Amino acid sequence: MSVIWIVIILSAIGLVSGILIFIVNKVLPREPESLKRAEQVAQYLPGYNCGACGYPGCFAYAQAAAEDKDIITKNPCATVLQDESMLSGIEEALGLEIDTSQMNKKAVVHCYGVTVPLGDYEGIKTCDAANSLVGGFKRCSYGCLGFGDCAVVCPQDAITIDEVRNVAVVDPDKCTGCGLCINQCSKGIIELVPADSNIVFRCSYESLKDIPGRERCDEGCLHCRKCFKACEHDAIIWNREKGIPEFDFSKCIMCGECIEACPHNRLIELKNVVPHKPALKK
């Protein structure tokens, strides 16, 4: 007998609860318009809650964007920029055209990473700890330390440590250009470059501040300025203070002249950061 009572009581209580929720839902004032829009925007956000945009989670970002549309362009979510469908969803939800040509970025590590260690490092295995100890344990005090502090913070698992060369390598397909790794790197050798620029320079050795030449790293920049002279498009700016080339990606046409000219041709590489997806709207 009690089985029947259970069924009756359970269904009755379930029904009453359902009706109550329905009534409360009807009686209460409607949600503000911006909240609804935020929810729409949040649908198209990745939901990683990585915090790279500076907001505590994707929904907070969506709320901010729903109130101020400019946030999408001023403070873009890097993952959204990589994904056409998310992007068009947000454009639709907020009713705007997003011009991504200036925003789509990738991280590159400016180090080739073969420099010899000065000795065995026995301390805490993080770049930060190693760096606070006389700038690391490698002959070149500018290069990557290879403990992967950057790999730990990357929400996309885009960074791996190349065990042979002992250097962090960014997978351009996975990297969304959020920039979290940049602040994490105690050497400051990670940079965001436009995603469709295919030139990487893999050295950070500042010759003028340190022993000149290649005392410190067999693979490092020779500071010969041959790339600078070879570039006919003024895309290379010679950084006089550091003695290394810097690239002006707006002028670079990716002809590869600098690579030809560099006697140490591993340092400048072409087609290294190219995303295999087609670049977004021009």
Partner 1 sequence: MNNLFSIFIAMAIVNNMVLAKFLGLCPFFGVSKKLSNAISMGIAVTFVMLLASVSTTVIYNYLLVPFHVEFMRIVLYILVIASLVQIVELTIRRTNIILYNALGIYLPLITTNCAVLGIALINSQESYNVLQSTISSLGAGVGFSLVLIIMSGIRETLDLGESPESMKGLPIAFITAALLAMAFMGFSGMV
C-beta closer to partner 1: residue 28 or 134 = 28
What is the x/- site pattern for ligand SF4, positions 32-61, by CB under 6 A?
------------------------------
Burial of 140: CB neighbours in 10 Å, binned 0-12, 13-18, 19+: buried
To the nearest whole angstrom, how small is the minimum distance from the Cβ of residue 42 to partner 1?
13
Least gap, CB of 27 to ligand SF4 (angstroms): 46
Shorter beta-carbon distance to ligand SF4: residue 153 or 227:
153
Site string (134-173) toward ligand SF4, x via CB under 6 A: ----------xxxxxxx--xx-x-xx--------x-x---
CB closer to ligand SF4 out of 156 and 197: 156
In the complex, minimum distance from the CB of residue 198 to ligand SF4, in angstroms, rounded to a whole number:
16
Q: 3-state DSSP: the chain helix, strand, coil percent, rounded to 5?
A: 35, 10, 55
Spatial distance between the Cα atoms of 185 and 203, rounded to a whole number of angstroms: 15
Nearer residue to partner 1 within complex by CB, 66 or 144 = 66
Quote the least distance from Cβ 24 to partner 1, whole Å: 5
Q: How many other β-carbons are positioned within 10 Å of the β-carbon of residue 113?
A: 24
Pick 142 or 228: Cβ nearer ligand SF4: 142
Of the candidates 112, 80, 79, the one whose C-alpha atom is nearest the C-alpha of residue 272 is 112
Measured from the CB atom, the residue of 41 and 169 that comes closer to ligand SF4 is: 169
**Closest CB to partner 1 among 9 and 224?**
9
Whose tokens are 């760096």? That residue is: 131
Neighbouring residues of 228: CB distance < 8 A, sequence distance ≥ 6: 236, 238, 245, 258
Identify what 31 binds: partner 1, ligand SF4, none; CB under 5 to 8 Å per kind: partner 1
Q: How many CB atoms lie within 10 A of CB 202?
A: 23
SS3 labels along 79-91: HHHHCHHHHHHHH
Q: Do residues 76 and 178 touch, judged by C-beta distance below 8 A?
A: no
Site residues (vs partner 1, CB under 8 A) = 2, 5-6, 9-10, 13-14, 17-18, 20-21, 24-25, 28-32, 35, 60
Residue for token pair 């503000």: 32
Give the span between the Cα atoms of 33 and 109, in whole angstroms: 44
Kindly state the number of chain residues that form the binding site for ligand SF4, as judged by CB under 6 A.
29
Q: Which does 103 bind (CB under 5 to 8 A by kind): partner 1, ligand SF4, none?
A: none
Asked if 82 is part of the footprint of ligand SF4 (rule: CB under 6 A), the reply reads no
The residue among 173, 171, 158, 199 whose CA lies nearest residue 277 is 173
Binding site for ligand SF4 (CB under 6 A): 107, 109, 127, 144-150, 153-154, 156, 158-159, 168, 170, 175-181, 184-185, 187, 189-190
